[in-house]
Amino acid sequence: MNERIEEILYKVEKPSRYIGGEINSYEKEINENTIRYGFAFPDIYEVGMSHLGMHIIYNLLNELDNVYCERIFAPWVDMENVLRKEDISLFTIETHSPINELDIIGFTLQYELSYSNILNILNLGKIPLRSSERDETHPIIIAGGPCAYNPEPLADIVDFFVLGESEEVLIEVLDAYRKIKEKGLNKKRLLEEVCKIEGVYVPSLYEVQYNEDGTIKSFIPKKEDYPIKIKKRIIKDLNNVFYPEKVIVPFADIVHNRAMIEIFRGCTRGCRFCQAGMIYRPVRERKSEKALELADKLLRNTGYEEISISSLSTSDYSQLNELVRGLIDKYLNKKIGVSVPSLRLDSFSLKLIEEIQKVRKTGLTFAPEAGTQRLRDAINKGVEEKDLIDAVTNAFGLGWNTVKLYFMLGLPTETYADIDGIADLGKKVVDIYYNIPREKRSKGLKVTISTSSFVPKPFTPFQWEPQDRINTLVEKQNYLKSKLKHKNITYNYHDSKTSFLEAVFARGDRKLGDVLIRAFEKGCKFDGWQEQFLYDKWMESFEECKINPNFYANRQRGYDEILPWDHIDVGVSKKYLMKENEKAKNEELTKDCRLGCKGCGINNGFIGGVC
């Protein structure tokens, strides 16, 4: 290990975050033909290593000859202080190289509140923040992941974005990079070349003009041959796509410390607040046979004591029974835990969960999202009160005593009657428990009600809707708090200031780049970490850049407005989103599209899923 790096590891907490050398991590020879790629997760090791996408890309790229993918994470605050004090560049986990020695650094954008960490990482790596300040001597900075569907707030920072599932497109990008590098790397030529690859968006090749009111007047390619619309990429067949079989086993106790098998992508439920439900369409399943085979290889290669399946709405998986049966039969006697998250809690699921959890009954989680049927219909959450009541009755009867309920505050059309509904549901759950004969229930009921604040997201039917103002959200939280004073009920809520910032960046445009840089200069980082979040510094930054954050978070947009992400094509049409938004106002449900096509548009040119 590099001596200077070794010295600083004595000075930080949890040094195992930084040492590398984990089982299944790659050690590769670096020569002049090697493209050095850095997969950067703009949060700490424990968070980044829990992310399945990172493992997929890491293993995919490292199986290629002449490409070496190393990992980069945001150093925790103590490490950052040491790096700055001793003037040491942020380094990769694999070889402890300064990150500016890499050819390409790819950031994954999982949540808006990690943007300031991107700037911090670049700065700690002595890399200029703006794309325009970097040339061939600096790494090419790219980004992908769900937040890349509205890339505009990072348009000044990132050289180009990769939209959609990147297993194929990333390899095309690396091929293009290699070709250009052989002729002598020229950043401008590279950008012009990669913009021809489907799924690649190069923001500097486009000109944005604004109206006097701050909305977008026009968004035009600077040359005719640049694509007008940039279409996301998808993998057509999950049974044949690359899947990492030898995933890194971290030393540190990370957030999701277990083997993961992805069983499908996409979701057909169509909840109107949910971005994942729209941007990951169409649904594509991996056969259970294939999933079981992967599980076996993963467990053999990692030695993990737990396996989890990963997807959006797990209960929708067509071979769920076969798969979970298979996992239980094979692994429970080997003392390998099986976890099946995101289940709809019908009686079938409860039986499954009971079998998996055997004696120890951990908490059950329900997400009705809204307190009344009216609002649940408006957001198209296809759950009825009866579903919750039945599930909870069953669960208490089977010996559960801990229940978590998730809701959102500030959903479009919400009134105080809907908030009363949340409190009523909580109390009903308590009543159900006490109505079960004492000898049939487990002692010590604990009901936890959590509310998050609704953040309108691009490419959802609510993309035009305003977010509630911070003080409105606080009033609603306080109101609910006063209604939930009960010995068995705990009420948790998210800080509405962070939700506000999230809303600004979720639907932001290019003008936010300056604010982001200003906030970084004022020390903003780890905005998603409550104790690190500096709300006042952010507000100062908006003010100094003469940007009104309410314009982004709290403004009602019209259907005719050009939205900052309109040049991105996720497959779901704007027309469909408008129709869904209108249906929300009329509290009309849209059924699961497995039961019949709803014309969202994904089957026009994105063939491969259920459609």
Binding residues for another protein, rule: CB under 8 A, are 1, 6, 9-11, 14-16, 19-23, 249, 251-253, 257, 299-305, 335, 358-360
**C-beta closer to another protein: residue 77 or 356:** 356
* Least separation in angstroms between CB 124 and another protein: 20
Report in angstroms how near the CB of residue 331 gets to another protein at its nearest.
11
Length of the chain: 611
Identify which of residues 6 and 78 has a Cβ nearer to another protein in the complex.
Answer: 6
Whole-number Å distance between alpha carbons of 552 and 216? 12
Question: Considering beta carbons, is residue 14 or 325 the nearer one to another protein?
Answer: 14
Nearest approach in angstroms of CB 442 to another protein is 14
Helix H or strand E segment including 258? none
Give Cα 213 distance to the centre of its chain: 32
Total Cβ atoms within 10 A of residue 197? 21
Q: How many CA atoms does the CB half-sphere of 566 hold within 13 Å?
A: 16
Residue 571 Ramachandran class (φ > 0 left, ψ -120 to 50 alpha, else beta) = left
φ, ψ of residue 283 to 5 degrees: the values are -70, 130
User: Least distance (Å) from another protein to the CB of residue 96?
Assistant: 10
The residues with which 448 forms a beta bridge, in sequence order, are 404, 490
Residue 79 Cβ vs another protein, minimum distance, rounded to whole Å: 13
- With 0-12 / 13-18 / 19 or more C-beta atoms within 10 angstroms meaning exposed / middle / buried, residue 124 is buried
Owner of token pair 């990951």: 280
CA dihedral (359, 390, 270, 406) in degrees, to 10, reads -60
Q: Which is nearer to another protein, 359 or 595 (CB)?
A: 359
Nearer to another protein, 330 or 428 (CB): 330
> Which of 257, 310 has the CB closer to another protein?
257
The sign of the CA dihedral 449, 453, 454, 457 is: negative
ω into 282 cis (within 30 of 0) = yes
Which is closer to another protein, CB of 97 or CB of 477? 97
- How far is C-alpha 474 from the geometric centre of its chain's CA atoms? 25
Distance CA 428, CA 425 (A): 5
DSSP 10: T
**Please, what is the minimum distance in Å from the beta carbon of residue 17 to another protein?**
9
Q: Which two tokens stand for residue 502?
A: 């999230």
Closest by CA to 373, choosing from 416, 408, 422, 412, is 422
| In the complex, least distance from residue 592 CB atom to another protein, rounded to whole angstroms | 37
By the 8 A CB rule, do 327 and 288 touch?
no
Placement of tokens 């009971």 in the chain: 354
Complex with another protein: residue 14 or 181, whichever CB lies closer: 14
Residue closer to another protein by CB (options 306, 514) is 306
Q: How far apart are CA 526 and CA 453, in angstroms?
A: 19
Q: Nearest distance from residue 252's CB to another protein, in Å?
A: 6
Least distance from another protein to the Cβ atom of residue 40, Å: 22
CA atoms within 13 A of residue 519's CA, in its CB half-sphere: 29
Q: How far is the CB of 41 from another protein (least distance, A)?
A: 20
Distance of closest approach, residue 541 Cβ to another protein, in angstroms: 36
User: Are 260 and 59 in contact, with CB atoms under 8 Å apart?
Assistant: no
Rama region for 8: left / alpha / beta (φ>0; ψ in -120 to 50; rest): alpha
CB of 14 to another protein, least distance (A): 8
Using the minimum distance from each CB to another protein, give the nearer residue, 16 or 393.
16
Residue 458: how many CB atoms within 10 A of its CB?
Answer: 24
Q: Which is nearer to another protein, 86 or 207 (CB)?
A: 86
Nearer to another protein, 44 or 197 (CB): 44
